[in-house]
Amino acid sequence: MRKIISKSTAVKAVVLILALIGILLIWPFRIFSSVLETSAGGTIVGETDRINHEHDNIMQEFITRYDRLSSVDVYVTRVENGRYITCLLYDENGVNQLKVYVDTQEFQIPGYVTIPMEVNVEVGKHYTLKFQNCRSKYCLALEDVPADSEYVGTLTDEFVPVEGRHLAARYNYRIPLSKKMSLLIMSIIAAIAALICFLSDLYYKKNPDKNDLVTVWKTVKHAANPIAVLVFGALMIMVFPLRIFDSRPLDIIFYELGLAITAAIVFYAINHKAVKHQVGISFWQSLKNEDRLQYILIMFSMAMAIWYACQYMNDLYDIYHEISLRHMAIWLLVAMLLTFSLKEALNIYNLIWVVASGIYGIRFYGLNKLPETEKEYDLHNLILKCGIIIVILGGLLVLNFVRILVLSIREKRFHTNHGEKKCLRPTAFGVVLLVFFVLLVAMRNTRLWGIYLVITFVCFYIRIAVWGKNKDYYKILSGGFMMNFAISLLFSWAHRYFAGYVSGRFAFIFHTVTVTAEYLTFMGAVATVMLVAKIVALPKGTNLKDMFISAWKEMTLFGFIMSYAIFTVSRTAYLAIAVSTLLVILVVISCHRKQFFRIVGVFIISLIVCFPAAFTLQRIFPAMAADPVIYAIDDTDEFIRGGAAWDSTNFMCVERFGNLFATKILGADMGEYEFPVDVYNYDSETGEPLYDYYGRPYDESPDNPANSDQGRLDVVPLEGLLVANGFTRAEYMMLMDDLVGYVDTSNALDVISNGRITIFRSYFRNLNLWGHDEMGAELPNGEIALHAHNTYLQVAYDNGIIVGIVFIIMLVMALICGIVYYRNNRKNEPLSLITAAVVIGFMVAGVSEWVFQYCNPMTVALMLSIAPITFKVKEK
C-alpha cells in the first residue's frame, strides 16, 4: 500500500479495476437481467365464478420454464367488493412458497393485474397458483386451451377440474442478459475504459509537471471515498425522505443512525493511516510480507472448512450431509497442503503422484459415475468427484509424512532454521487426546465419523507441529475464524431476510437459532480474545481515542457478532455467550490485574455502537438483493419468501424487535403488536376493519355489532394482522396433546429449557459401558429424542461411559493447558488465549446442545484451536 506510483498510473489502475468489476458483474456473476414474458395463449372466453369468502379455491397449475419467476399477470374482469386479491404459490409437493396481497386499485379493471413474485423455482416442475379473497369479491378471466399448451396444467375450481379452460395469465421469468447484449455492454465498458486511459496519458504527456508521485494507499482513498459517499448518500435518501424501507418515524430515525455509524466506520477504514500504531499491537503488521499471501490462503481454507461444517448443520438428508462432509474434508486438506514449502511441494514424487492419480481418478470417475437417467445422479456424481479429490490431496499429504519420517530416521532429529537440534514430543494433553481418539474409534459402534475426525486431525496436528512457521499459527487461526464470519455475514446480507414473523428470531445462516447460538458462541469467544488482546496491550491511562485507533477493527467485529447473537432472541445463545465471555475475561484478569472495568467498558461501547448498524444493514441489504435462501424447516413468514416489497411490514422493525425482546427475554407483558399487511382494509388508528369478510363496508355489514343483536361476529383474522406473541412451530409441537408428559410442567427449569431436563434423564437412564449402535432414547411419553441436547451425555450414550469420562478429562485438560499456554506466552502471542476461549465456549454450549460431531462447526473450531498444545519441541 505504500508503494509509489505516478498519477497517470494511478488513474489507469483505478479505471481498469472499475471496468473489470463492471465486466465481472455482467459475466460470470450475471447480476443484471431482463424479464421474459410467457403465456399459454388462447382467447378469453369467460370468467370464473365470484371469488369471495365462501368461494376461494381457484387453482391453476403450470410448469416452470426458467429458474426465477419474476411475476404473474392475471386478468381480472371485475372487482365488486373490497380492493385486494390474494395469491398463493405452491410447489409440486404442495408446500407454500409465497403469499401475496395485491391492491387492484393500482390497475385498470378489467385488465391484467401484476402479482409480484421474484421467487426461485425449479425448471420443469409443476407449480400451482391459488387465488383467494381478502375481504373482497372479484372474478378472473378464463381462456380456452390451445393444442400446444405444454406449460399449463389443470385448472380447478373448489378442487373440481375445469375442462378446456385455464386462467388468462402471463408468466414472467427473470433471465440473465443475452450473450449478444452482454458482449455489447462489456465491449462498451472496455471501450470507455480504454478511452479514459488514452485521454489520461494524453493529458499527463502535455502536463508532465502534474504527473506527481502518489502512494497506492492514497490512490485507493481517492477512488473509494466518492464511491462510499454515493452509496451511503443514496441509502440515507432512500430511508428518508423517500421512505422506501419504512414509513414509521422510529424506524426511519434508527435506520439513519445505523447508516451513519456504518458510514463512519467505512470512512475511517478508508482514510486512517495504515502505519504502525504508537500504542498497542498489530497482529497483521507483525507478519512478514513474504508470508502474508500464504497465510491468507490458509485462513481462507479454514474459513471454507467451517463454512461447509455450517452447511452440514443445515442439510436434512444423508446425501447432502455426505456432500458437505467431503467438501469440508477437502478444505482441511488444502489448509494442510498450503503449509508446504516450495521444496516440499515441488518434487518429482509429488508430480508423479498428481499425474498418475489424476489420470486414474478421471478414468475411475468415468467408469463409476451414474447416468442422467438415474435418480439424483448429479448429487451422487458430485460425491464421487469429491472422494477422488480427497484421495489425490490426501496422497500428497501422505507422501510428505513419508518424506519427514525418512529424514527423521536418517538423522534421528530435525533442525530449525538456525540448526538447533530439537525433538518432537506429544504433550501430556496430546497423550490424553490420543487416548480419547483411540477409544473413539474402538468404541465407535457403527459410526464412521469418529474415524474421519481422528485421521483428519491427527494429520493436521502432525503437519502443524513440524511446520517451520507454526509460531504464527494463532494469527492464522484467528484470521480463519473471522474470515468465515465475514463470508457468513456477506451471505446473510445477500440471502437471509430479517423477518419479523413467524418466530421473529433471526437464525443468521442456519435454519434454527439453536445452531446459530452454537456458532456465535465460539465466534464470540474468538472475537473476545482478539479485542481483549488489543486492550490489555495498551499502556495504562490510554484515552478512548487511542484505544479506538488501535482496536477499531476488533471492536467492530465484536460488536457485530454480539449484535447478531442478540438478534436470535434466544436464552440459550445469551447464556452460552455471556458465560463463555465472562470466563475468558476472568482468565485475562488473572494475568492482567485492574483491567476488568476497561475491558467491560469497551465491550459495552462496541455493542452499543454496532447494534444499530448491524440491525439496519441486515434489514435493508437482503430486501434489496431480493434473493432469499429459505431452508426447509424455516419459520420464515410466507409473505416474504420471494422478492418482497422493500417496505413490507413483515420485515423486522424496531418496535417489533423491542416487543419480542421484552416478551421473550425480559418476560414483560407487552401486549400484542399489530400492524396490518393489507393496510387499506383497516383503520390505521383503531385497527378496526373497514370491510367485512365479504368486502362489504363494515359500517353497513351485519357482522358489525352495531348492526346486529347477537353481538360482534367478526374477528380480525391472523392473515390480516401480524401478531407478535404467536408460537413458533417448535413451540407449538412442544405443546401438542401427543407430547403430554414430554415436559415436566412441575419443574420450572424443564419448562424454561424446553424439556431438556426430561431428555437428560432419559439418556442418563440408558447409559452403559459400551455405548449404543443407534441414536435416540425413549421419552416418558413414548417419543424418541434423536439426540441428548447435551454433548457429554451424547458421547457417553453413543460410545460408552468410559469414553464419556475420558472426553470430559480431555476437555478439562485442554482448558487447563490452554490457560497455562496463554500465561506462558501472553507477551509474545496474546492470541494464544483462543485455545482456552474456544474450549470454554465448547464446554458451555455442550451443556445444552450436542456439539461434538465431525462436521459440527464447534467441533471443527475446537479441533483447530487445540493444535498448538498437542505437541511440543524439546532441545536434545
pLDDT at residue number 716: 42
Cell, residue 544:
478512548
pLDDT > 70? residue 728: no
Q: ω before 502 within 30° of 0 (cis)?
A: yes
Give 78's contacts (C-beta < 8 A, 6+ positions apart). 47, 109, 110, 138, 139
- The 10s digit of each residue's pLDDT in 140-196 is 999 998 877 778 899 999 899 999 999 999 999 999 999 999 999 999 999 999 999
pLDDT band at 735, cuts 50/70/90? very low
Q: What is the DSSP string of 723-791?
A: -TTPPPHHHHHHTSGGGTTTS-TT-HHHHHTTTHHHHHHHHHHT--SS--SS--EE-TTS-EESS-S-H
pLDDT > 60? residue 610: yes
pLDDT at residue number 734: 35
Burial 859-876 (b: 16+ CB within 10 A, else e): bbbbbbbbbbbbbbeeee
Nearest to 566 by CA among 612, 602, 597, 526: 612
pLDDT at residue number 591: 76
For residue 510, the SS3 value is coil
120 beta partners:
68
Which range has the worst mean pLDDT, 104-113, 414-423, 854-863?
414-423
Q: ω before 249 within 30° of 0 (cis)?
A: no
pLDDT > 50? residue 714: no
Amino acid at 605: I
List the end-to-end C-alpha distance of the chain, in Å, as a whole number.
44
Cell, residue 38:
410467457
- The 10s digit of each residue's pLDDT in 455-514 is 999 999 999 998 989 999 999 999 999 999 999 999 999 999 999 887 788 999 998 888
Give the C-alpha separation, 343 to 403, whole Å. 12
Give the C-alpha separation, 493 to 625, whole Å. 8
pLDDT at residue number 564: 96
pLDDT > 50? residue 725: no
In angstroms, what CA-CA distances link 606 with 277, 551, 612? Answer: 20, 10, 11
Strand ranges, E, within 657-717: none
Give the C-alpha separation, 361 to 698, whole Å. 73
140 beta partners:
76
Burial 132-162 (b: 16+ CB within 10 A, else e): bbbbbbbbbbbbebeeebeebbebbbeeeeb
- pTM to 2 decimal places: 0.90
pLDDT band at 671, cuts 50/70/90? low
Give the C-alpha separation, 738 to 601, whole Å. 49
pLDDT band at 385, cuts 50/70/90? very high
| Mean per-residue pLDDT, 220-234 | 94
- The 10s digit of each residue's pLDDT in 768-818 is 999 998 888 877 776 777 788 889 999 999 999 999 999 999 999 999 999
pLDDT at residue number 759: 84
pLDDT > 60? residue 5: yes
pLDDT at residue number 355: 96
Give the C-alpha separation, 395 to 354, whole Å. 9
| Element containing residue 731 per DSSP (H, E) | helix 729-734
Q: Which residue has the higher pLDDT, 423 or 448?
A: 448
- The 10s digit of each residue's pLDDT in 56-97 is 889 999 999 999 999 999 999 999 998 999 999 999 999 889
Cell, residue 91:
410447489
For residue 829, the SS3 value is coil
CA dihedral 383, 389, 391, 394 (to 10 degrees): -130
Q: Which residue has the higher pLDDT, 576 or 433?
A: 433
pLDDT at residue number 832: 92
pLDDT at residue number 170: 95
Q: How many CB atoms lie within 10 A of CB 389?
A: 19
Give the C-alpha separation, 516 to 499, whole Å. 16
Q: 3-state DSSP helix/strand/coil percent for the chain, to nearest 5?
A: 55, 15, 30
pLDDT > 70? residue 280: no
pLDDT > 90? residue 230: yes
pLDDT at residue number 480: 96
pLDDT at residue number 359: 96
Give the C-alpha separation, 109 to 103, whole Å. 12
Cell, residue 410:
536418517
Give 765's contacts (C-beta < 8 A, 6+ positions apart). 777
SS (H, E, C) 395-408: HHHHHHHHHHHHHH
Q: Which residue has the higher pLDDT, 5 or 286?
A: 5
- 81 within 8 A of 681, measured Cβ to Cβ: no
Amino acid at 73: D
pLDDT > 90? residue 333: yes
Amino acid at 355: V
pLDDT at residue number 263: 97
pLDDT > 50? residue 532: yes
Q: ω before 241 within 30° of 0 (cis)?
A: yes
Which range has the worst mean pLDDT, 116-130, 416-430, 700-714?
700-714
pLDDT > 80? residue 874: no
pLDDT band at 378, cuts 50/70/90? very high
Cα angle, residue 642 at apex, residues 62 and 50 outer, rounded to 5°: 55
pLDDT > 70? residue 377: yes
Give the C-alpha separation, 531 to 482, whole Å. 12
| Mean per-residue pLDDT, 730-755 | 51
Rg value, the chain, Cα? 31
Please give the mean pLDDT across all residues of the chain: 87
Cell, residue 597:
472495568
CB-count burial class (<10 Å; 0-12, 13-18, 19+) for 530: buried
Cell, residue 297:
490462503
pLDDT at residue number 713: 39
Nearest to 796 by CA among 753, 765, 758, 841: 765
CA dihedral 792, 797, 803, 809 (to 10 degrees): 10
- The 10s digit of each residue's pLDDT in 638-661 is 888 888 889 988 899 999 899 889
pLDDT > 70? residue 413: no
- 237 within 8 A of 620, measured Cβ to Cβ: no
Which range has the worst mean pLDDT, 90-94, 202-206, 583-587, 589-593?
589-593
- DSSP state, 594? T
Q: How many residues does the chain have?
A: 876
pLDDT at residue number 615: 98
pLDDT band at 717, cuts 50/70/90? very low
- 70 within 8 A of 173, measured Cβ to Cβ: yes
